Amino acid sequence: MNKKNPWLLLFLLPLLSCNAAEIEKQAIPKLHVGMTWQWQLSGKLNPDYQVDLYDVDLFDTSTKSIQALKSSNKMVICYFSAGSYEDWRKDKSQFNKDDLGKPLDGWEGERWLDIRQKNVRQIMQKRMDLAKQKGCDGVEPDNVDGFDNPNGLNLTASDQLDYNRFLANQAHIRGLKVALKNDMQQVTALVNDFDFSVNEECHEYNECDVLKAFIEQDKPVFNAEYKKAYINDISIRKSMCEQSKVLKIQTLVLPLDLDDSFRLACS
């Protein structure tokens, strides 16, 4: 740099900043309807599926594994629970007693979180920092529908909307894509804030039509079904998959543990 000409530096800095921003923008994969995916949150990670996107556990997936997936041109989304306390996570001691609500029905070791608490929000910001550090392209915050469950905290729909928008905003600040997980009652209100949807059993509960709001904005919908009939009966699965294709939803039939013990893809 020519130290004798400070005006040259003032001229070049905006250009350098623009170039850096453009490079960063280009480095982020674009989500779109029709992308294929794999969802595995437990067990030894199987990196061999020829898909566009992997959804993996934030804590249990190593940086090395994330980078290996990315090197094979796969987008990596990192899962964490944003609405529940899990008694096996490394940062469990950071939660306060006042942050915790009732246990989640059917999920041992989990309790609903008071999403209005500043401490809860700070922990989630740290988790997204971790996702950024590990090289995740985006995040899947789970259990973001506590208001619609017996949470013991008197959470309202308004509380949930505020918290979910907070999560989306914090992800975007970090350059991360963000999924709306389930929360079917608030899809219409939140579709503009989120980049894609991860859903469980929209066919089982006849809710898939609600997710058209994402498809209409070219935001992909990734759905998992667990019903045994979809596993054991080819004709039933075929019918369900045909519905998924019409709706442009990417549906997988998976084990509830999401451990890659089997995988049946509609696409």
Say if CB 89 and CB 135 are below 8 A apart.
Answer: no
Each residue's pLDDT tens digit in the chain (267 positions)?
444 444 444 444 444 444 444 434 445 568 999 999 999 999 999 999 999 999 999 999 999 999 999 999 999 999 999 999 999 999 999 999 999 999 999 999 999 999 999 999 999 999 999 999 999 999 999 999 999 999 999 999 999 999 999 999 999 999 999 999 999 999 999 999 999 999 999 999 999 999 999 999 999 999 999 999 999 999 999 999 999 999 999 999 999 999 999 999 998
Instruction: From residue 158, give the alpha-carbon distance in Å to each of 90, 113, 147, 164, 192.
Output: 30, 15, 9, 10, 17
Domain count, the chain: 1
* pLDDT for residue 20: 40
Indicate whether 206 belongs to any domain: yes
Indicate whether 2 belongs to any domain: no
Q: Which CATH number covers residue 115? A: 3.20.20.70
Domain that holds residue 155: 36-265
Backbone angles phi, psi at 232, to 5 degrees: -90, -25
Secondary structure class of 13 (helix, strand, coil): helix
| Helix H or strand E segment including 80 | strand 75-81
* pLDDT for residue 1: 42
Sheet holding 100-103, edge to edge: 84-86, 110-113, 100-103
Indicate whether 93 belongs to any domain: yes
Indicate whether 5 belongs to any domain: no
Indicate whether 7 belongs to any domain: no
What's the DSSP call for residue 31? P
The letter for the amino acid at 12 is L
Indicate whether 13 belongs to any domain: no
Indicate whether 149 belongs to any domain: yes
* pLDDT for residue 118: 98
* pLDDT for residue 28: 57
* pLDDT for residue 7: 46
Indicate whether 71 belongs to any domain: yes
